Structure 1
Amino acid sequence: MSEPTENQMEQCDIVLPRQGLLYQTDALNYILCKPKLIPLKSVTLEKLEKMQKDAEIKVKESQEAEDSLNASA
């Protein structure tokens, strides 16, 4: 037999059972997708850290101002 070429289609006869039932099972295949990168810190956590850092800076500034007033008096 010769090998089928691009223009030729291989034909086969359909065979149906004469007795019993015909079953077709669908197999589910996994589809792999591109991995999603998630941030190490959430936006909310970053905002909270910024607020805390700002509060610490204000406390230090007020302490320095208080120390300078006490030193000059």
Structure 2
Amino acid sequence: MSETTEKTSERINIVIPQQGFLYSENKPHYILCKPKLMPLKSVTLEKLEKMQKDAEMKMKEMQKDD
């Protein structure tokens, strides 16, 4: 941990080729897709809730008739 923290600036020489091809390829890192919408309630849960409401309505009707 007794390293000295000196700022050293290194010079990098830029080399430009005089002949040949310069090739550069850009690839996206992320591939985005459409968001998938999911129902808040499943079909099975909706069916169960409907059956329960129907049963409650029938019970209320039977109680009114008595």
Identity within the alignment, %: 72
**Which one has a bigger Cα radius of gyration?**
1
* Match in the other structure for 1:46: 46
Aligned to 2:62: 62
- TM-score, normalized by length of structure 1? 0.51
CA RMSD of aligned residues (A): 2.2
Match of 1:19 in 2: none
Structure 1 segments unaligned to the other structure (5+ residues): 1-10, 14-26, 67-73
User: So what's the TM-score if we normalise by structure 2?
Assistant: 0.56
Greater helix proportion: 1
Cα distance in 1 for residues equivalent to 2:40 and 2:61: 31
Distance 2:63 2:33 in 1: 54
Query: In the TM superposition, what is the alpha-carbon distance from 1:28 to its structure 2 partner?
Result: 8.5
Unaligned ranges ≥5, structure 2: 1-18, 22-26
Tell me the number of residue pairs that the alignment of Structure 1 and Structure 2 aligns. 43
Q: For residue 5 of structure 2, what is the aligned residue in structure 1?
A: none
Larger RCO (CA under 8 A, 6+ residues apart): 1
Q: Deviations over 1:8-56 (max 9, x none)?
A: xxx726xxxxxxxxxxxxx893211010111111101100000000000
